[in-house]
Amino acid sequence: MAKVNMTVNGSPASGDVEGRTLLASFLRDQLHLTGTHVGCDTSQCGACVVHVNGEAVKSCTMLAAEADGAEVTTVEGMANADGSLNVIQQAFQDHHGLQCGFCTPGMVMSAAALLKENPKPTEAEVRTYLEGNICRCTGYHNIVKAIMAASGQDVGAIAAE
Amino acid sequence: MYNFEFVQPGSVADAASAMAGEDAQALGGGQTLLPTMKQRLASPATLVSLTGIADMKGVSAADGVLTIGGATTHATVASEAAGSFPGLAGLASHIGDPAVRNRGTIGGSLANNDPAACYPAAALGTGATIVTNTREIAADDYFQGMFSTALDEGEIITSVRLPIPQASNYQKFVQPASRFALVGVFVAKYADGVRVAVTGASEEGVHRWTAAEEALSANFSASAIEGLSVAADGMINDLHGTGAYRAHLVGVMTKRAVAAAS
Ligand SMILES: Cc1cc2nc3c(=O)[nH]c(=O)nc-3n(C[C@H](O)[C@H](O)[C@H](O)COP(=O)(O)OP(=O)(O)OC[C@H]3O[C@@H](n4cnc5c(N)ncnc54)[C@H](O)[C@@H]3O)c2cc1C
Ligand code: FES
Ligand code: FES
């Protein structure tokens, strides 16, 4: 066991972990931040995407020990300061960007990483960026639409209503 | 995954001594090794993380050579090589997906030498030098067939030096489920000739296509390889594509890479 310290969603967090403890397990089982989902556990599906030092990573494929000292943001840290949904989360709700919601935390975290890098992406850029985020329900269309809307772009033209 | 001891040295020297321990293994970005360990196909006693070693990170261009630290992520190469070596930056920017690129490293990719990986094509296609903690290895001697390299037990790739070509491009025909290359071709044009390296296709792993190199060295245009064909013998034959299909793709991807080279 080794002690890890990190900042999670702006607050200090620490715990004792084994070498093999995954960041996803540490967040879910020790910090009880169960918004981060584990879908495949093989770095394929992206349900577990969180930000580590501002970069999107798959938390099922990173050790908790590797995040020692890091700033980690999970979907629980995405809401506005007053607790209301942030612009990306609200857009997912407004544009029906989810059905079962299992992929949604990863989608929101990937979308936030994309919009930080590229504030006005094209539809093609959104689709390419989401290559590592799999959704079994929506067919992606409304996810793409929500992200375009969150970037402040008019989504009337891309939408099948 | 079986448990192990995790160590994160801050220098190459400390990493090398940690690697000398029994059943120690290097950890780059973990994008290949952690899934392998989950399947219990690897069970090191100690994982030696290389990503805390500042000397092994970063991209720099000097005297016509691009030097990339062994623990540099694909995302960093994609952004920092864009000006000096766009063909390589383009390759790095299409590996896996953004989250994979934020963790996966060039050293991990070259050490693993997956027969469908992208970086081996760039290293062989530029005649790169693989620099380790003990020696320098020419790419032509480094790749020794699928998942096999010249690296010794415990040896660490500290950096990779790639001669910057006058023009280059990498074309990948994506295997849509894995996002690896079904076939990928890296073409690099130098003052003294052209190099062509092929990944994804052969049972021997990454290799050079010398007939195309000769034709393109005489005439650097897609039409120069019009009459050439690649034998289907020894090509990977699996549910994603037959050997004949891959052999055909080698020609198609090479033409596209020549046409797109910049
Ligand atoms: C969903 C997904 C899609 C992917 N798509 C692609 C793709 O399109 N193209 C592609 O090329 N790759 C792809 N990859 C693989 C990815 O590029 C990996 O990051 C890479 O192959 C391994 O790098 P790593 O740093 O993660 O190494 P690790 O997984 O940490 O290690 C891999 C091996 O290399 C050894 N090692 C690591 N670093 C060093 C070093 N510096 N010196 C010596 N040995 C070392 C380890 O001991 C281990 O044996 C994909 C991976 C995933 C999960
Ligand atoms: S659970 Fe991490 S990528 Fe699927
Ligand atoms: S909404 Fe169900 S997996 Fe995406």
Task: Determine the structural domain holding residue A128 and report its residue range.
Answer: 87-150
Q: Do A66 and B51 touch (CB under 8 A)?
A: yes
Residues of chain B with pLDDT under 50: none
Residue A156 has pLDDT above 90, yes or no: no
- pTM of the predicted structure, to 2 decimals: 0.97
Residue B24, both tokens: 């120690």
Question: Which atom of ligand 1 lies at the shortest distance from residue B96's CA?
Answer: 5
Residue A160 has pLDDT above 60, yes or no: no
Pairing relation of β-strands A2-8 and A71-73? Answer: parallel
Selecting from A43, A55, A133 the residue whose C-beta is nearest the C-beta of B31 gives: A43
Domain end, chosen from B49, B69, B84, is at: B49
Residue B143 shares a structural domain with residue B44 = no
Gap between the Cα atoms of B45 and B5, Å rounded: 6
Gap between the Cα atoms of A82 and B240, Å rounded: 50
Residue B144, both tokens: 């020794």
Question: Which atom of ligand 2 lies at the shortest distance from residue A43's CA?
Answer: 3
Residue A96 shares a structural domain with residue A125 = yes
Pairing relation of β-strands B136-138 and B129-132? Answer: antiparallel
How many structural domains is chain A composed of? Answer: 2
Q: Do A20 and B51 touch (CB under 8 A)?
A: no
Residue B67 shares a structural domain with residue B141 = yes
pLDDT at A146 (0 to 100): 97
The SS3 call for residue B249 is helix
The SS3 call for residue B247 is helix
Gap between the Cα atoms of B219 and A22, Å rounded: 52
Burial class of B226 by CB neighbour count within 10 A (0 to 12, 13 to 18, 19+): exposed
As a whole number of Å, the CA-based R_g of chain A is 16
CATH of the domain at B70: 3.30.465.10
pLDDT at B78 (0 to 100): 98
Indicate whether residue B241 lines ligand 1 (CB < 6 A): no
Gap between the Cα atoms of A53 and A9, Å rounded: 11
Within-domain flag for A158: no
Q: Do A2 and B6 touch (CB under 8 A)?
A: yes
Selecting from B3, B30, B99 the residue whose C-beta is nearest the C-beta of A132 gives: B99
pLDDT at A57 (0 to 100): 98
Indicate whether residue A100 lines ligand 3 (CB < 6 A): yes
Residue A19 shares a structural domain with residue A52 = yes
Domain end, chosen from A53, A78, A103, is at: A78
The SS3 call for residue B19 is helix
H or E segment to which residue B14 belongs: helix B12-19
Selecting from A2, A43, A129 the residue whose C-beta is nearest the C-beta of B100 gives: A43
Mutate to test the interface with A, among B1, B6, B178 (most CBs of A within 10 A): B6
Task: Determine the structural domain holding residue B221 and report its residue range.
Answer: 167-261
Q: Do B102 and A41 touch (CB under 8 A)?
A: no
Residue A73 shares a structural domain with residue A91 = no
CATH of the domain at B16: 3.30.43.10
Question: Which atom of ligand 3 lies at the shortest distance from residue A107's CA?
Answer: 4
pLDDT at A159 (0 to 100): 57
What confidence tens digit (pLDDT) does each residue in A82-130 have? 999 999 999 999 999 999 999 999 999 999 999 999 999 999 999 999 9
Taking CA–CA distances from B178, the nearest residue in chain A reads A44
Residue A111 shares a structural domain with residue A49 = no
Indicate whether residue B112 lines ligand 1 (CB < 6 A): yes
How many structural domains is chain B composed of? Answer: 3
Gap between the Cα atoms of A133 and A58, Å rounded: 10
| φ, ψ at B194 (rounded to 5°) | -110, 140
Gap between the Cα atoms of B166 and A109, Å rounded: 39
Write the single-letter amino acid at B202: S
Within-domain flag for A111: yes
Residue A22, both tokens: 């995954």
Residue A1 has pLDDT above 90, yes or no: no
A9 min Cα distance to partner chain B (Å): 19
Gap between the Cα atoms of B186 and B87, Å rounded: 8
3-state secondary structure chain A: CEEEEEEECCEEEEEEECCCCEHHHHHHHHCCCCCCCCCCCCCCCCCCEEEECCEEEEHHHCEHHHHCCCEEECHHHCCCCCCCCCHHHHHHHHCCCCCCCCCHHHHHHHHHHHHHHCCCCCHHHHHHHHHHCCCCCCCCHHHHHHHHHHCCCCCHHHCCC
Residue A70 shares a structural domain with residue A97 = no
Q: Is the ipTM of this complex over 0.90?
A: yes
Domain end, chosen from B163, B183, B200, is at: B163
Gap between the Cα atoms of A38 and A47, Å rounded: 6
What confidence tens digit (pLDDT) does each residue in A17-61 have? 999 999 999 999 999 999 999 999 999 999 999 999 999 999 999
Cβ proximity of A101 and A146 under 8 Å: no
Domain end, chosen from A47, A78, A109, is at: A78
Residue A74 shares a structural domain with residue A136 = no
Domain end, chosen from B148, B163, B178, is at: B163
Gap between the Cα atoms of A44 and A38, Å rounded: 10
Packing angle, helices A87-94 and A141-150, rounded to 10: 140
Residue with tokens 């879910």: A28
